[in-house]
Amino acid sequence: MNSRYIAWAVGLAALVALPFVYREPYHLHILVLILIWSFAYTAWSIMGRFGLVSLGHGGFMGVGAYVTALLWNHLDVSPWIGIPISMAAAGVLALVVAYPCFRFRITGHYFVLVTLALSGIVLQVITATRDYTGGSLGYTPDRARSGSGLMALQFDDKTTWYLIALFVWVVGLLIWRWVDRSMSRYAMEAISEDEDAAAAAGVNVTAEKLKITLISALMTALAGALYCQYQMFISPDTVSGIAVSLQMVFAVIVGGLYVSLGPTVGAVITIMLAEVLRIGFGTKAVGWDNLVYGVLLVIFIIFLPKGILGSVLDRLKTQPKPSGTK
């Protein structure tokens, strides 16, 4: 067990040190994107691993990104305040939709489709209020005056963003681990097996589900706000809607739903894949990356439902270990 902590510490130290020795901007940019999306995917998997498959996370992400940007542009509210507000907004949205869902036992297909409606609403509201949000053309937060970059949470320096994204990603993993070790995990697993039995055993089904949903929604909104601050451009298609929700589900399934680093592996694979295809095919690549995504997703669900990392770890565990390593 001790060797695991050492491995984690060494890995982290290497990741923190990376931007100081390696400064290639394009690669750092990819890394920042991977870290931010990994955080979002981790947020989704916190819910998804208990059978609460939500296609509404595109909505939470959109709320996080757009509320932060709108507050900054129209009301001059610094993202330091705007991000908590946007997270709170997404949290309220999550509670408003999730509470009746859980209270009235909307599960399985129905839960997926209700949350699908949620991301549909967010996407349509962003498009419909185009006078404020720019509609489908996208939206850019105003550039801060020079010298007030910290207040506006806008940095030109890729290294700064890398460290911020790394920090948030680690926090995401810690939350995942905290949930994994908590009583909630056992409660949620019982609920996903059989709600009635769990309730009979004294689990407060609605409260436990709400807790997990709220955590997940808050994290997703934070990811959306960070993405907005980093890219300085958001559009309904990149941060909200059903496509983004499906993208989250896809990455997590590919990486592995039941292991802490699964969503991260999924983010690495999907983003690298998209970039490689984009560079390999040039401008002809429009569509090819999603085509490969889709084929992979179907293959994974049929043949490797535990994802790449999950299957690899399973394989390692079942192999007889040589004596003395444990």
Partner 1 sequence: MQAFLDTFDIFLLEAIVNGILLGGVLALLALGLNLIFGVIDVTWICYAELVMIGMYGMYYMVQVFGLPYWVAAPFAILLVAALGAALHYIVIAPLLTAPPINQLLATGGVLFILQSFATVAFGIDFRNLGIRLPVLAIGEMHFSYSRLLAFAAALIGMLAIYFFMKRTYTGTAIRAVAQDRQIMSLMGVDTKRIYLITSALGGALAGLAACLLVLQYDVHPFVGLSFGPITFLICVLGGLGNFVGGFIAAFVFAQIISLGGLYSDLEWGYVLAFAFFIVMMFIRPAGLFARRS
> Does the footprint of partner 1 cover residue 200 (CB under 8 A)?
no
The three state secondary structure string of 128-187 is: HCHHHHCHHHCECCCCCCCCCHHHHCCCCCHHHHHHHHHHHHHHHHHHHHHHHHCHHHHH
> Does the footprint of partner 1 cover residue 243 (CB under 8 A)?
yes
> Does the footprint of partner 1 cover residue 273 (CB under 8 A)?
no
Q: Look at the alpha carbons of 11, 26, 282, 278 in this order and tell me if their dihedral is positive or negative.
A: positive
Interface residue with partner 1 among 290, 304, 313, 314 (CB under 8 A) is: 290
Total interface residues for partner 1 by CB under 8 A: 44
Could you tell me if 50 and 215 are in contact, meaning their C-beta atoms sit under 8 angstroms apart?
no
Q: How far is the CB of 53 from partner 1 (least distance, A)?
A: 5
Token pair, residue 82, equals 């705007």
Instruction: From 62-70, 113-121, 165-173, 204-212, give the range in contact with partner 1 by CB under 8 A.
Output: 113-121
Instruction: From 210-218, 263-271, 284-292, 313-321, give the range in contact with partner 1 by CB under 8 A.
Output: 284-292
CA 140 to each of CA 23, 69, 250: distance values in angstroms, whole numbers, following the listed order: 26, 8, 28
Choice between 11 and 287, CB closer to partner 1: 287
Q: How far is the CB of 312 from partner 1 (least distance, A)?
A: 20
> Does the footprint of partner 1 cover residue 80 (CB under 8 A)?
no
> Does the footprint of partner 1 cover residue 187 (CB under 8 A)?
no
Choice between 116 and 166, CB closer to partner 1: 116
Binding pattern to partner 1, positions 33-72, x when CB under 8 A? Answer: ------------------x-x-------------------
CA 106 and chain centroid, separation? 23
> Does the footprint of partner 1 cover residue 291 (CB under 8 A)?
yes
Q: How far is the CB of 126 from partner 1 (least distance, A)?
A: 9
> Does the footprint of partner 1 cover residue 249 (CB under 8 A)?
yes
Residues belonging to the chain: 326
Q: Is 247 exposed, middle or buried, given 0-12, 13-18 or 19+ CB atoms closer than 10 A?
A: buried
Interface residue with partner 1 among 85, 211, 288, 304 (CB under 8 A) is: 288
Instruction: From 14-22, 137-145, 169-177, 288-296, give the range in contact with partner 1 by CB under 8 A.
Output: 288-296
CA distance 137 to 131: 11
> Does the footprint of partner 1 cover residue 128 (CB under 8 A)?
yes
CA 184 and chain centroid, separation? 20
Compute the CA torsion angle 300, 166, 174, 220 (nearest 10 deg): -60
Binding pattern to partner 1, positions 141-180, x when CB under 8 A? Answer: ----------------------------------------
> Does the footprint of partner 1 cover residue 105 (CB under 8 A)?
yes
Choice between 15 and 242, CB closer to partner 1: 242
Q: Look at the alpha carbons of 56, 263, 217, 125 in this order and tell me if their dihedral is positive or negative.
A: negative
CA distance 147 to 124: 37
| DSSP structure string for 23-46 | --HHHHHHHHHHHHHHHHHHHHHH
> Does the footprint of partner 1 cover residue 121 (CB under 8 A)?
yes
Could you tell me if 270 and 247 are in contact, meaning their C-beta atoms sit under 8 angstroms apart?
yes
Chain contacts with partner 1 (rule: CB under 8 A)? 51, 53, 97, 100-101, 104-106, 108-110, 112-114, 116-118, 120-121, 124-125, 127-128, 242-243, 246, 249-250, 253, 286-291, 293-298, 301-302, 305
